[in-house]
A and B are shown apart, each in its own frame.
Chain A
């Protein structure tokens, strides 16, 4: 079991490691102007040096990411439930959701700042909520409605009502779809939060730290903040994978995808 895990983990670790060595080595060997792309050792050094700044920034951004993600997921699931249960709502809400999705949501960040306050976290959260909403809504709706006719006939033959069918068939059927969307949403939430932070919200969050560091040509510091955002996205993705294994045990799970 443990050796299996090691065997699965070895190739990406080796390739990743070789990549880092090449990155570091080529920069040292050819010694271009180091500020364009700092070597990993410098980024790591900056990360430990500016540990407190990065930690504070990660906490500020993490708060936006997690709350926005939860909000978007709840909203997406709720809308999917409504749409799948009521035809009238489906015909009204689905085109609207599609229209909202066509808006470049990140571009709304400055407008949200104007509406919800330049330094308030709410404008950043709103961007994340909207970004997360759509994939969750679309996938969950699909899962709630894409039920085999035989299974529905069977429930009808048991004289099961709408609620029983929703609870015992549609919702479990939708779970794998929901988790697929959560994998997408986890990355989207981090991207959305950081880009939204470029335009407003707390000034000590990852977005402003990246902008300010890059502006002052402190590239290693900018990269250290990017690294923190990457780790956050990976952490959330892994959390989704772990939850999926717990809650969708009937599916033979591929490891990460």
Chain B
């Protein structure tokens, strides 16, 4: 039934549609015939103007909302089943930390729900805190941390049970430019260390180009994938952001987005 991991897509949508208020006067086609395949270990960004359905698509992948028709598969399982099997971790624009839990306890929450013992949890949360370089902040409460640090905790929490897939919805959207670039470097380092498949929603063109191996450009009303742009920049470094190849990719994505605007 299941194919070998290297052949199996980590995330796959087959003719996925999402219609809100179907059959009512205020019906909205949020997503129209979405076909995406993300191979295991890949890093794919979804970019598009606001209202293009990119967040909805991510929620579909997370099994938080069902598709109206079509299929959404994670590691070969329907998204809802994948959710129950904890196939993915998730991070949002707002860190969404639980303010009554310390940093370490926030990271341990998904492990508690999985029934891990206290010592296993403590060990893993320390490991995750080291990964996101917040080892000294285990006993702080979230409101004692900066926005960037909170977001790092959220990423550590998303990775705590080492899910094969990470779904991220504009996780750096609320951060200032400096912190943002730093977090992008961190995320790539973590991605390299953990071989997690990442689907990343953003509205920043340079961010999408810098991070991903592929950028999927979406158009609004109805939400469609209108361009699939591969990005081959090799190992990212500080210099990547100043590389002419980087700029030409940024231009390519920008033009795809402008084409949407002109078509509307």
B133 on interface, CB distance cutoff 8 Å: no
A150 near B64: Cβ-Cβ < 8 Å = no
Complex contacts, B96 vs chain A, CB 8 Å:
148, 150-151, 153-154
Interface residues of A in 60-112 (CB under 8 A from B): none
Residues of A within 8 A of B64 (CB): 153, 156-157
Q: How far is the CA of A173 from the CA of B96 in the complex (A)?
A: 13
Question: On chain B, which size bracket covers the interface?
Answer: 20 to 34
Q: Are A150 and B92 closer than 8 Å at their CB atoms?
A: yes
Q: Which residue of B lies closest to A160 (CB)?
A: B113
The reply to whether the CB of A158 lies closer than 8 angstroms to some CB of chain B is: yes
Contacts of B88 in A (CB 8 A): 157
Closest chain B residue, CB of each to CB of A169: B98
Would you call A250 an interface residue if the criterion is a C-beta within 8 Å of the partner chain's C-beta atoms? yes
Q: Tell me which of A151, A158, A248, A250 contacts B113 (CB under 8 A).
A: A158
A172–B113 Cα distance when bound, in Å, is 16
What's the dominant secondary structure at chain A's contact region?
helix
B143 contacts A168, C-beta separation under 8 Å: no
In the complex, chain A residues whose CB is within 8 Å of the CB of B89:
157
Decide yes or no whether A164 CB sits under 8 A from chain B.
Answer: yes
B61 to chain A: closest CB distance in Å? 11
Q: Does any Cβ of A come within 8 Å of B141's Cβ?
A: yes
A212-257 contacts to B, CB under 8 A, are 248-252
CB of B113 within 8 A of CB of A157, answer: no
A160 and B143 alpha carbons, distance in the complex (Å)? 25
Determine whether A159 belongs to the interface, using a CB cutoff of 8 Å to chain B.
Answer: yes
Asked if residues A175 and B113 are in contact (CB atoms below 8 Å), the reply is no
Contact A250 B99, beta carbon cutoff 8 Å? yes
Q: Given the complex of chains A and B, what is the CA–CA distance between A65 and B64 in angstroms?
A: 47
Tell me the nearest residue of chain A to B81, going by C-beta. A159
Q: Does B182 have its Cβ within 8 Å of any Cβ on chain A?
A: no
Give Cα distance in the complex from A151 to B99, angstroms.
Answer: 10
In the bound assembly, the distance between CA atoms of A6 and B149 in angstroms comes to 36
Docked pose: A168 CA to B106 CA in angstroms? 11
List the B side residues contacting A158 at CB < 8 Å: 86, 109-110, 113
Chain B residue with the shortest CB-CB distance to A157 = B90
Chain B residue at smallest Cβ distance from A168? B109
| Nearest CB of B to A257, in Å | 19
Q: Which of B102-154 contact A (CB under 8 A)?
A: 109-110, 112-113, 141-143
Let me know if B199 is at the binding interface, CB within 8 A: no
User: Is B100's CB within 8 Å of the partner chain A?
Assistant: yes
Complex: A154 Cα to B113 Cα, angstroms: 12
Partner of A150, one of B63, B83, B94: B94
Chain B positions within 8 Å of A160 at CB level: 113
Query: Do A250 and B86 touch (CB < 8 A)?
Result: no
In the complex, the answer to whether B84 meets A159 with C-beta atoms within 8 Å is: yes
Ordered by A's residue number, 7 sampled pairs between the chains whose C-beta atoms are within 8 Å are A151-B96, A153-B59, A153-B62, A159-B84, A249-B141, A250-B100, A252-B143
Q: Could you list which residues of chain A lie within 8 angstroms of chain B, going by C-beta atoms?
A: 148, 150-151, 153-154, 156-160, 164, 168-169, 172-173, 175, 248-252
